[in-house]
Chains A and B, each alone.
Chain A
Amino acid sequence: NAGVTQTPKFRILKIGQSMTLQCAQDMNHNYMYWYRQDPGMGLKLIYYSVGAGITDKGEVPNGYNVSRSTTEDFPLRLELAAPSQTSVYFCASQEGSSYEQYFGPGTRLTVT
Chain B
Amino acid sequence: AQSVSQHNHHVILSEAASLELGCNYSYGGTVNLFWYVQYPGQHLQLLLKYFSGDPLVKGIKGFEAEFIKSKFSFNLRKPSVQWSDTAEYFCAVKEKGTYKYIFGTGTRLKVLA
Contacts and interface: CB of A to CB of B under 8 A. Distances in A.
A48 B104 contact: no
Given A48-B100, A103-B44, A42 B105 contact: yes
Interface residues of A, number: 25
Given A45-B100, A48-B99, A50-B99, A101 B46 contact: yes
Most buried by A among B6, B9, B44: B44
Contacts, number: 51
Contacts of A45: 100-103
A58 B101 CA distance: 9
A42 B90 contact: yes
Given A31-B99, A42-B90, A45-B100, A103 B43 contact: yes
B47 to A, nearest CB: 11
A40 interface: yes
A100 B100 contact: no
Interface residues of B, number: 23
Given A43-B90, A50-B99, A99 B105 contact: no
B32 A99 contact: yes
What are the 9 A-B residue pairs with the smallest beta carbon separation, nearest first? A42-B105, A43-B103, A103-B44, A42-B103, A103-B43, A100-B46, A42-B106, A42-B104, A105-B43
Interface of A: 4, 31, 33, 35, 40-45, 48, 50, 58-59, 90, 92, 94, 99-106
Given A42-B104, A48-B100, A103-B45, 15 more contacts: A4-B43, A33-B101, A35-B103, A40-B9, A40-B105, A42-B90, A42-B105, A42-B106, A50-B99, A58-B100, A99-B32, A99-B94, A100-B46, A101-B46, A101-B101
Interface of B: 4, 6, 9, 32, 34, 36, 43-46, 49, 51, 90, 92, 94, 99-106
